[in-house]
Amino acid sequence: MCDHCGCRAFGPIAELTADHEHILELAWEVAEGEWPDEATHQAARDQLNRFLDFHAVKEEIGLYPLLISTGDLEVERCEGLEAEHREVHDLLERAAFDRRSYFALAAHIEEEEMELFSASRFAFDDEEWEQMDQAHHAAAHQFGMPHGHDEDAGVPARHRHDDGRVGSR
């Protein structure tokens, strides 16, 4: 976890950090938990996979390209991180996510928190934070995730939806 540079203070970074905590909790359960039957275990894998996909989309349309645009992330390294997203997705789909997969996922998350989040803190201005908010908002709509539409949540009260509708809901 990055507790040094204050990057948690920025809304979208705090959101990704909270996602990471949720992901690691679920992932440990999936890898090491005791499950009464295969159907329950499968449901947990599906739940984790869906949340991971949502989180990965936020990073892949928000944090990563924005860090590339400020010169703080190389395209090749970005592709590597995106490949790791796909890999976890595949492992879960094949019911092959184990303790080793968990530690690989934790290393991916640590790299993001220690290096990418810290870099964004220094590289991003209001414009990038606003774009990151919009990316997270777009991902929430894509995945049908509940989310706020108020200033406190870092999302403009009035905004344009993907379908062209402008509104506060």
Q: How far is the CB of 84 from Fe ion (least distance, A)?
A: 7
User: For Fe ion, which residue of 7, 27, 52, 112 counts as binding (CB under 5 A)?
Assistant: 112
- H or E stretch including 139? helix 126-142
d(CA 16, CA 162): 22
Between residue 124 and residue 163, which ones bind Fe ion under the rule CB under 5 A?
A: none
- Select the span of 4-12, 56-64, 118-126, 136-144 touching Fe ion (CB under 5 A): 56-64
- Per CB under 5 A, the segment of 7-15, 52-60, 120-128, 135-143 that binds Fe ion is 52-60
State the nearest-atom distance from the C-beta of 109 to Fe ion, in Å: 6
Nearer to Fe ion, 15 or 112 (CB): 112
- CA distances (Å), 46 to each of 11, 148, 151, in order? 27, 25, 32
What does each C-alpha distance from 90 to 21, 24, 47, 53, 157 come to in angstroms? 21, 17, 14, 11, 37
